Structure 1
Amino acid sequence: MNRNSRIKTHFDSRVLLSFIALLFIAGVVLAFKVRESEPCLVQSFNIDASALKVGEIVTFSDYTDNAHEWEWNFGDGNTASHRSKVVHQYKEPGKYLVNLWVNKNCNISKVVEILPSKELIDSTLFPRFDIPAIAYVDEPVTFTDQTPHAKRWEWRFGEGDGEKIDAIDKDPSYTYKTPGLKTVYLIVNDDTKYLTHKKITVLPSRNKKERINKVDIMKDTRDEDIVDIYINQKVPEKPIGFEPEKAKRVDNINVPEEEEEEATVLPMDEERLAGIIMGISMNRLSFKNFTRHFCKDQFPKVQLKDGSIVSVHYLYNTIRGKKIELKKVSMVRDRQTDCVSLIILDYKRKGLF
């Protein structure tokens, strides 16, 4: 019985060795993890830029204590690593999610909004020059530049297609070949972003014998034009020169009757045109007051809101003495002659009659 009660224990040495090896490896891994484990102290990172706009330099920086490894993701597909302070440029406007990993186990993110880049315009860089209000065909005109920083000049005097540079001197002279309202352009120092333009009215040659009525020349003369009187609200209760028996005639003209003479085309812009149209509708201005602003024998066509094209005679007879509401008016000029070739008009009748 004593022999059966004995307990005999036997361990395989290979199993024992394997168990010891596993314990050793687990201890090493645990020791490594404990050694590498650090508290996550990252709370935020800095974003600095003169302006958060497209193309501007943006600086990202982190000052976390005990940090030794960084990985940045700027939200636009670009990344940077191993530096606590990095710079980046965004190429498109929008909102971007910027992520930072510190020591591989700490992560923080911020949203940065990049605005579109706006080109700054420095008003002091625009050219400054003087031109006369009036010039005459076949007489030289002098243009004077007063731009302080100018070293190079490109002048275009409003004749031709506008592509050709007419002068490159500081204070050039130019002789106009055709009458009309011209636009003078000046660019200095090859900077096309800064361009200044002014208007000059070129009258027919004074060497010709035809006489020009002062009333028909310019609104800048001392004698006020009838259209100017109306637009400046100096109109009496009845139309100037109004005669009841002539009221139904197309040319109930306010201009004193004189022998026919070659009249200069008066300056016209969209604001003035709108005033004339309203003057016709109030029966204050005549057909001749209207057409004196267009080139002789080249009256413009009129395009109405529905796309139909009518003559200025039709327009005059349609709106004369009628109450209208003018919504929009614009003009198209012939590039060669500078004559008004098309009037684009949007108006509606008011009332029943």
Structure 2
Amino acid sequence: MNKKNIDIRVVFFFAILLLIGIIASIVQFFNHVDCEDVKFYIFSDHSQSDESIEFYDRTQNAKSWKWDFGDGSVPDVRRHTFHVYKKPGKFMVTLTINGDCTHTQELILNDKYAADKLGTPKIIAPKVITVGQPAYFKSISNKAKTWEWAFGENRGIDETSANPVYTFSTPGEKTITLVINGDFSTVAKKIIYVHPKVIKKTNPLDVTSYEYEKKAEAFSLPRGSVKKDPLEDMLQYVPVAPKTKTVKDSINIAKKAPKISEDQFEILLNKVAEGSKIKDDFSEYLCDDLDIPVVKNDTDLLTFSQLCAAIKGKKIKIESIRLNKDKQNNYVKGLNISYKVKKYLIWSKD
């Protein structure tokens, strides 16, 4: 009887050990991080020193993070963080995930103040500017290809040439602004004062020396009752011409899409796959056209709406993405993407 009880206990003991081992294997499997699939992103507007740079990790099953920014600063342990580099140069950013997987990416930053010195144009304006008289302006910049001048009298752009000529219609203090190459980070400003127009006093008119061509009696009306002007009846039947479009009415203000990088676009697509984003969230970047052409894996041609429907609810790994943007309005008009889908622990082309 005792022998039988001992055997049952041994069996239960090994069964419990086996169950614990299976549970541990399952937990380890689902918490495993593929070190070759570490994905973190660095976002920088101008790649300059003294600029807030964004760091973001999207590695699956990541539980802990350690950011080494490569400049001797204290490491950061958040998944999404920001960092400011005080000096320009080349930095090796290292991310350690779950204390095991390490990934390094190079970051090159330019000197902000040197970039401002080279990029910001200089405005040359006349010393004395008077209302009603043309004023000549000049832009000094080595890299300027386009110019957008605003002279402080109207809303919007007044001139688009390198050396414009402008006539002020009102006196007072004016702020001249100049944007080159469409880059609002390098805006030049200059404050000027426009003097009012001076009216010189002339000699009074000598009435006695004025000779009339006709006598005053020639301009008097004939006596009698007032007669109705025949033009008064005729003008009642003259059709009114329709209002013609002015130049201002015919100008269509082009809508510019907000800036988005390929890395940011990739993050949004991953969120579509996760279900936290939908295709309509891309409208502002696609100029409200959700049927732009998409080349998938270099073989298939489909629309952007079809792409979002194809990746929704799937685990995807985007290998490459290239945006075809409109240079004038900045919206995305085409997309090339290569990605894989995870099926039964195997990554394969969709």
TM-score interval, smaller chain: 0.3 to 0.5
TM-score normalised according to structure 2 size: 0.32
The structure number with the bigger radius of gyration is: 1
Structure with the bigger percentage of helix: 2
Q: Higher RCO, 1 or 2 (CA under 8 Å, sep at least 6)?
A: 1
